[in-house]
Structure 1
């Protein structure tokens, strides 16, 4: 399974559970970037850490962007 599919699967579960409103997974060269739309007003850093914790190790916290 590719890292992109694994990331999309984890984010789909987060969206279905109501933790995030929506998400987008982008792959550029060797990098995977993740954009998530926040469901509520929790701090960006906290949501970024929660999302990164559920993603494959290949995607670190610095590659997660939170949109309000």
Structure 2
């Protein structure tokens, strides 16, 4: 029934994780489909490969911000 709702009305995504300031992961509140923003800013299905890329980007982002906070 939930998939039918999404196929009829479209997905309703909410942010499930903020990877960086510009890259986020989203999850449909009805069917659970997961997507992420790609390099062009479009939504792409969250594959295991994209999850790994997002984890790496998140680690780099956090390290840079920690270093910047300590330098200030």
TM-score normalized with structure 2 length: 0.28
Kindly name which structure, 1 or 2, has the bigger radius of gyration based on alpha carbons. 2
Of Structure 1 and Structure 2, the greater strand share is in 1
| Bigger relative CO (Cα 8 Å, ≥ 6 apart) | 1
